[in-house]
């Protein structure tokens, strides 16, 4: 464990995980667990943008605002405040970021401007929080990677998108919510959006770590470090395939219905 990580140190750690650099990477992270990086938060972001975009890829950071559902404005594109902590706020404020117009689950996207704009454009029209037509679905389409840096799969919002792709029952709210987006021009747009919902637990994402063993069994996860933070580089397509296998094998039983581990017979 080092006391200060340079850009070269971070690049070496990322190289060891062999993450494709010409596609798309979405990073969920704990800034505190990464530790001290040369140049501070700015140095960390600069290094990540350079690493993941210099070969044509896109680097994404979630900038969600779902905790503002009951406020007059759900997403204010002139306000970098998110509900995910300091690094997300920092990325939302960066002038290089192309931020999507999803009212509850926006992203800050870095890379080639035209590619980034094409990547986020459908977030302005989708009608569910992690729609397969949104940025989350495009991570699957592009064969991307979910990078969990110092966090577990309870923070892996992409798994909600897989639920939507597979039309898994009991994962969405029965009624839509009216959310609002305030554009940089000041125009306010109202959007109807179906949110995550489940009748047997308040937060289904707290049970997403049950998928980790099946993901590992099928080679979806490469372990490493970013700074001091244990890191999982997760293949988006393999994760979807594993979840689809589990739900087919489970039949009428929901594999996340209780706190029991997912039985190996459903994924081996």
Q: Are 105 and 88 in contact (CB under 8 A)?
A: no
Q: Which residues of the chain have pLDDT under 50?
A: none
**Sheet with 58-62, side-by-side order of all strands:** 98-99, 107-110, 58-62, 24-29, 145-149, 229-235, 221-226
Res 124: pLDDT: 97
The tokens describing 98, both together, are 């192309």
pLDDT at site 174: 87
Domains in the chain: boundaries: 7-70+79-176+195-250
From the list 254, 167, 240, 241, the residue with the least C-alpha distance to 204 is 254
Q: Where are the alpha helices (DSSP H) in 54-104?
A: 86-93
DSSP one-letter code for 6 = -
Q: Hey, which bits of 151-217 come out as E strands? A: 177-182, 188-193
Q: Is 211 left (phi over 0), alpha (psi -120 to 50) or beta?
A: alpha
DSSP state of 75: E
Q: Rounded to two decimals, what is the model's pTM? A: 0.97
pLDDT at 253: 95
């Amino acid at each position: 464990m080092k006391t200060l990580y340079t850009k070269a140190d971070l690049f070496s750690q990322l190289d060891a995980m062999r993450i494709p650099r010409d596609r798309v990477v979405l990073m969920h992270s704990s800034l505190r667990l990464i530790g001290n990086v040369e140049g501070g938060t700015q140095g960390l972001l600069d290094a990540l943008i350079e690493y993941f975009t210099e070969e044509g890829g896109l680097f994404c950071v979630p900038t969600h605002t779902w905790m503002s559902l009951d406020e007059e404005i759900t997403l204010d594109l002139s306000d970098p405040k998110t509900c995910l902590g300091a690094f997300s706020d920092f990325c939302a404020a960066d002038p290089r970021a192309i931020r999507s117009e999803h009212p509850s689950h926006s992203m800050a996207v870095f890379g080639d401007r035209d590619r980034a704009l094409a990547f986020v454009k459908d977030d302005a029209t989708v009608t569910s929080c992690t729609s397969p037509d949104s940025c989350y679905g495009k991570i699957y389409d592009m064969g991307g990677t979910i990078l969990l840096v110092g966090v577990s799969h309870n923070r892996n919002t992409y798994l909600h998108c897989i639920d939507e792709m597979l039309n898994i029952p009991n994962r969405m709210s029965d009624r839509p919510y009216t959310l609002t987006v305030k554009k940089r021009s000041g125009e306010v747009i109202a959007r109807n959006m179906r949110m995550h919902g489940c009748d047997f637990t308040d937060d289904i994402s707290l049970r997403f770590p049950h998928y980790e063993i099946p993901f590992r069994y099928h080679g979806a996860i490469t372990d490493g470090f970013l700074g001091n933070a244990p890191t999982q580089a997760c293949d988006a397509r393999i994760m979807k395939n594993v979840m689809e296998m589990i739900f087919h094998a489970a039949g009428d039983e929901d594999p996340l219905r209780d706190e029991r581990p997912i039985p190996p017979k459903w994924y081996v």
